[in-house]
Amino acid sequence: MSFEVPEFEGGEGLTSQEYVYMRLRNAIMVGAIPTGASLTMRGLADVMGLSATPIREALRRLNSEQAVEAQDNRRMLIPEMNSGRFEDLVSTRLVLECHAGLRALPYISDIVIGELRVIDDEMDAAISRRNYDRMICLNHKFHRALYGANPDLTSLPLIESIWLQLGPFQRELISDVGEFYVMGDHKAILDALMDRAPEALTLAIENDIQNGLVSAGRALIERRAQR
């Protein structure tokens, strides 16, 4: 297999089965495993230095989350992105993340805003170094910290499910368009949080998703359809 499965930070205390699942899930979410990659239990066991048993269970769970597709030859495949699936995932992401942001707004303190600014600064540094893998991880961290300000948050598993299904394609987009991702809207999100402005926050979250994903994704899918 021509890819690596990065270690999963925060795996302390997990069972071996749960650790393998979280490590594979994180690898797909950040795009470390590319679109179209064919996965076998033996191949993953070799790459991860583990036995096949926990990998089998992890792939079963990831298949149920639509992150991988089962093939007739007992392999698993990271699915290619098509227009219909892409539009549905993006529309769902917009609804869920705007909802989560608005629900978090009453709980946003200056301390939380300060923490978000630190993450955003780290993202800027990662982009300037063209470290796009790090940028994706920090982007997830930024949004988790924002939505997680709500102590009653229930939608994060749904949001992460969308990130999981978009992850490989999103990483592919970054490789394809590179500097496009400098156009993030996190600073507009931070301004809206400082002003405690729900309409501005909704618009900033929408723009962050649209500018960072949708236009480039549609263009790439269209180019491939014309080949």
Q: Per residue in 144-176, pLDDT tens?
A: 999 999 999 999 999 999 999 999 999 888 876
Residue 193: both structure tokens together: 């949080």
CATH code of the domain containing 66: 1.10.10.10
**Residue range 190-218: mean pLDDT, rounded:** 92
**Residue range 172-186: mean pLDDT, rounded:** 66
pLDDT digits (tens, 9 = 90+) for 12-61: 788 888 999 999 999 999 999 989 999 988 889 888 888 888 999 999 99
Q: What is the pLDDT of residue 225?
A: 84
Q: What is the pLDDT of residue 182?
A: 47
Q: Is residue 55 part of a domain?
A: yes
- The residues, any chain, with a CB within 8 Å of residue 90's CB and separated by 6 or more, are 166, 209, 213, 214, 217
| Local confidence band at 75 (pLDDT 50, 70, 90 cut-offs) | confident
| Local confidence band at 216 (pLDDT 50, 70, 90 cut-offs) | confident
Q: Are residues 97 and 206 in the same domain?
A: yes
Q: Is residue 130 part of a domain?
A: yes
Q: Is residue 163 part of a domain?
A: yes
| pLDDT greater at residue 71 or residue 1 | 71
Query: 113: domain range?
Result: 83-225
Total domains present in the chain: 2
Q: Are residues 152 and 191 in the same domain?
A: yes
Q: Is residue 145 part of a domain?
A: yes
Q: Are residues 105 and 188 in the same domain?
A: yes
pTM assigned to the model: 0.90
Q: Are residues 132 and 38 in the same domain?
A: no
Q: Are residues 48 and 92 in the same domain?
A: no
Q: Are residues 32 and 90 in the same domain?
A: no
Q: Are residues 157 and 48 in the same domain?
A: no
Please state, for a pLDDT cut of 70, what percent of the chain lies above it.
94
How far is 127 from 150, CA to CA, in rounded Å? 29
Q: Is residue 5 part of a domain?
A: no
- The residues, any chain, with a CB within 8 Å of residue 66's CB and separated by 6 or more, are 79, 165
How far is 108 from 131, CA to CA, in rounded Å? 29
Q: What is the pLDDT of residue 102?
A: 98
| Local confidence band at 184 (pLDDT 50, 70, 90 cut-offs) | low
**Residue range 219-225: mean pLDDT, rounded:** 87
Of 159, 220, 201, 209, nearest in space to 184 by CA: 209
Q: What is the pLDDT of residue 194?
A: 98
How far is 151 from 153, CA to CA, in rounded Å? 6
Query: Does residue 179 register a pLDDT over 60?
Result: no
pLDDT digits (tens, 9 = 90+) for 81-129: 999 999 999 999 999 999 999 999 999 999 999 999 999 999 999 888 8
